[in-house]
């Protein structure tokens, strides 16, 4: 119960906008409860009057029962309409806030846990907890409205009242054992389902590569194995659940027969009349409803706690580490930055080793080196994508650990080698980085990225949907769209992570001209695959094994750095 209260408070945080509707919903529920409580008493009188041949009272009580039903149905109608509005808004609030929390998780947490876990919690668990207040009300309403049956039993027959309490207690114990066991198994099942969701999402995202590798058969085999393993776990869970259910069904049927037996013996002994026996027998269904609502309430608590805890973990559990930023804000970034004795490792693999470098504002600097030398890592650390490094990184002389998020990422744009393009229109992809983007700014950015002519040739032009991951675009078009996105953002520091590697020579030349046009106005860092594209930069830094081993311009490095000359000679030969 303590955990339940904590989770209820957690959900209430995201339900305050619906406070008025929730109050109205509970007020309407009180009307339902009042009408439901009187149902069994009115029904009892109807049966007694009918069996006693008191027709006038029989009809009169029937009219009262009709009025009670009509009032109850009308209230239920308005409650249902309110329920949809309450559920929808709470669902949106929790999903939106959970989505924001997931985006705040650091890269290490995302990499270690995989996407499946977060997808399930964002989609499934949020839905399970969003209706908690209305579901609670439903079960509480069901218990209170049927509690009158026990009062009726007590008035009509003390023996039947004791019998009902005993059978009720036994049924409740069976259900508590069933629900506790089921939810324990369900917790493990959901973990496996998280992994399954992650694997299937990878297959969908990587479908093109799977086809190109002719790997459908092996991937489908692996998919089938995972599905089989998951469904075996589900079968075990449901099989255990059925074992308890059969016991419950047997006991319900035995109880039903015992009720008939007690009623029959009571009538025979003269302790109750036939009319009372008929009333007691007819109320068996209401008694079952009472039991089911109490059981439903207990089951709701268990499922709610499981889903709420899975979500609550992301919001507040320390095992899902969030990105941490400082409080200092830079309104105007000049673009100077420096690495002092920076070391960094992925797991146990050290990528940077006491790296020292300094870049001045409006300088264009290129990074070259073999794969794994640490070039992209420098970009990731500058953008504060990872925080577990040694040493100091500063922007305009301020440690980036002291700066707030906008001071860093609001002033740095990165164009990666494999940019992610979202499944929306070209226009919306560009507006992701600037919501008030004008059509003129958008077209100018696309012209600078040599993409405008292609977009204008499309039937829907800038409203063209590009598909998940930009599937309808070629590799070069994706990169040009990403470059256009960078031009739209217009930050003081622009990072190009091999951004022209997928472009043909003609387009690359145009993009290179666009980058050249930005020089002296922005701090530009370039990771170069083709050394021919960086011959005009201010400086080139040569990395090897996580360290800067040489720096200078193109001509200087050709003379002074053996590794650089080898890379350049190899490119010419290729």
The 3-state secondary structure of 472-484, one letter per residue: CCCHHHHHHHHHH
Which homologous superfamily is 2-189+238-316 in? ABC transporter type 1, transmembrane domain (1.20.1560.10)
pLDDT of residue 210: 62
Phi, psi of 338 (to 5 degrees): -150, 140
The answer to whether the beta carbons of residues 119 and 197 sit under 8 Å apart is: yes
Q: What is the pLDDT of residue 214?
A: 60
Query: How far are the Cα atoms of 119, 220, 419, 431 from residue 200, in angstroms, in the given order?
Result: 11, 10, 22, 30
Q: Is 546 left (phi over 0), alpha (psi -120 to 50) or beta?
A: left
Q: Going from the first residue of the chain to its last (574 residues), give the mean pLDDT of each consecutive group of 10, the final group possibly shorter.
A: 70 75 82 72 74 79 81 81 80 77 72 68 74 72 70 76 83 82 76 72 63 64 75 78 82 82 83 77 72 78 77 71 83 85 80 86 85 82 85 90 86 79 84 83 85 87 82 79 82 79 67 70 82 80 84 84 79 59
Contacts of residue 32, defined as CB under 8 A and 6 or more positions apart, other chains included, come to: 72, 75, 76, 79, 141, 145
CATH topology for 337-573? Rossmann fold (3.40.50)
C-beta of residue 342 within 8 angstroms of C-beta of residue 394 = no
Is residue 339 within a helix (H) or strand (E), and if so which, with residue range? strand 337-346
Domain boundaries, the chain: 2-189+238-316, 337-573
Reading across the β-sheet that carries 493-497, which strands appear in turn? 412-415, 493-497, 523-527, 364-368, 539-544, 547-552
Is pTM beyond 0.85 here?
no
């Amino acid at each position: 119960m303590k955990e339940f209260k904590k989770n209820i408070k957690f959900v209430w945080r995201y339900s305050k906008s619906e406070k008025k509707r929730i109050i109205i919903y509970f007020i309407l529920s009180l009307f339902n409860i009042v009408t439901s409580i009187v149902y069994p008493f009115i029904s009892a009188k109807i049966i007694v009057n009918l069996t006693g041949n008191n027709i006038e009272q029989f009809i009169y009580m029937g009219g009262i029962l009709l009025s009670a039903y009509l009032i109850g149905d009308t209230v239920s109608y308005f409650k249902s309409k309110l329920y949809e509005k309450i559920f929808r808004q709470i669902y949106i609030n929790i999903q939106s806030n959970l989505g924001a929390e997931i985006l705040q998780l650091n890269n290490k947490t995302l990499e270690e846990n995989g996407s499946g876990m977060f997808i399930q919690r964002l989609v499934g668990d949020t839905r399970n907890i969003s209706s908690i207040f209305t579901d609670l009300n439903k079960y509480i309403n069901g218990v209170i409205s049927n509690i009158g049956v026990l009062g009726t039993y007590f008035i009509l027959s003390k023996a039947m009242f004791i019998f009902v309490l005993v059978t009720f207690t036994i049924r409740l114990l069976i259900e508590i054992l069933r629900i506790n066991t089921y939810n324990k198994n369900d917790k493990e099942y959901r973990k496996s389902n998280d992994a399954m969701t992650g694997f299937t999402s990878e297959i969908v995202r990587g479908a093109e590569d799977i086809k190109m590798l002719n790997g459908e058969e092996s991937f489908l085999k692996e998919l089938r194995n995972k599905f089989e393993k998951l469904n075996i776990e589900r079968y075990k869970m449901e099989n255990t659940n059925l074992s308890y259910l059969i016991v419950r069904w047997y006991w319900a049927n035995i109880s039903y027969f015992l009720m008939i037996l007690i009623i029959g013996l009571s009538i025979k002994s003269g302790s109750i009349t036939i009319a009372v026996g008929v009333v007691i027998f007819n109320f068996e269904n209401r008694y079952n409803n009472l039991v089911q609502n109490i059981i439903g309430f207990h089951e709701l608590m268990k499922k709610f706690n499981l889903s709420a805890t899975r979500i609550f973990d992301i919001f507040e559990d320390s095992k899902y580490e969030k990105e941490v930023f400082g409080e200092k804000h830079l309104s105007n970034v000049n673009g100077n930055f420096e690495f002092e004795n920076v070391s960094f490792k992925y797991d146990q693999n050290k990528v940077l080793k006491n790296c020292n470098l300094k870049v001045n504002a409006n300088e264009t600097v290129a990074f070259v080196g073999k794969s794994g030398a640490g070039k992209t890592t420098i970009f990731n650390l500058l953008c504060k994508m990872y925080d577990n490094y040694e040493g100091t990184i500063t922007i305009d002389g301020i440690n980036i650990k002291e700066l707030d998020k906008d001071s860093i990422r609001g002033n740095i744009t990165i164009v990666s080698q494999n940019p992610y393009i979202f499944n929306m229109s070209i226009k919306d992809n560009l507006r992701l980085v600037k919501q008030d983007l004008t059509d003129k700014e958008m077209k100018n950015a696309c012209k600078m990225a040599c993409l405008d002519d292609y977009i204008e040739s499309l039937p829907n032009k800038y409203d063209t949907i590009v598909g998940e991951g930009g599937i309808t675009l070629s590799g070069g078009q994706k990169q040009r769209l990403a470059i256009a996105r960078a031009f739209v953002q217009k930050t003081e520091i622009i990072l190009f992570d091999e951004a022209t590697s997928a472009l043909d020579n003609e387009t690359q030349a145009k993009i290179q001209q666009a980058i050249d046009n930005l020089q002296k106005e922005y701090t530009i860092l370039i990771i170069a695959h083709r050394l021919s594209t960086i011959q005009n930069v201010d400086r080139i830094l040569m990395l090897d094994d996580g360290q800067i081993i040489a720096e200078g311009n193109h001509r200087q490095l050709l003379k002074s750095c053996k590794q650089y000359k080898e890379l350049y000679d190899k490119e010419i030969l290729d």
